[in-house]
Amino acid sequence: MIGVGKTTLTGKIAKHFGSRPYYEPVGENPVLPLFYRDPKRYGFLLQIFFLNKRFQMIKRAKRNPHNVLDRSIYEDHLFTQQNHLDGNISNQELAIYDELLANMLGELRSMPTNHSDLMVYSYADFDTVLSRIKKRGREYEQCDNDPQLQNYYYRLWQAYQKWFAEYDETPKIKIDLQTYDLANPNNVPIVLGQIDDAVSQFNV
């Protein structure tokens, strides 16, 4: 979920394993602010932009063990599906997106790799997510005076929980970033210990 603390966690996991973090292109994304202003016009373009960038990143990340992405290509469909349900993406656009995603996943699954992947699902309750979105201060993300945007966030938050429950592409672990807020340095070794345990269990 946006605002939950993925970027912070990604950096700490990568440093812990001595590997490279790969971050979602937000600051250099010219479409994202346009989407927040007019989602019906830019919904499909935004999802294609993100899909392309995630495909590039995951191919680079797969070259070495323990590289970390703050978002996965597997979850990209969740956002596209939500935009389709909200009327921002047409049936035809969704079909084009689904075909493109299937082609990309087919290529990724055929790539040689000497390790398994681990999906780390970062969780916090909805009020905590909203407070963190507000705290990081991206103007186009703020929903204090925009109930429609807040409802969109809530639908995503709900959809993520269902998505994680059904996700079975790789081993997975849920990290509670509300209980173990990474702003408290005492929580960092606890969270990294949970990651270590999962890596050891799944022989990543």
Residue 33: which residues within 8 A CB-CB, separation 6 or more? 140
- 169 annotated ligand binder: no
- 141 annotated ligand binder: yes
- 93 annotated ligand binder: no
Residue at token pair 């790789």: 170
Which pair of structure tokens corresponds to residue 201? 């269990």
- 172 annotated ligand binder: no
**Is 181 among the catalytic positions?**
no
Active-site option among 70, 144, 146, 181:
70
- 54 annotated ligand binder: no
- 144 annotated ligand binder: no
- Binding residue numbers for ATP: 132-136
Report, as residue numbers or ranges, the catalytic residues: 70
- Binding residue numbers for substrate: 24, 36, 47, 71, 76, 141
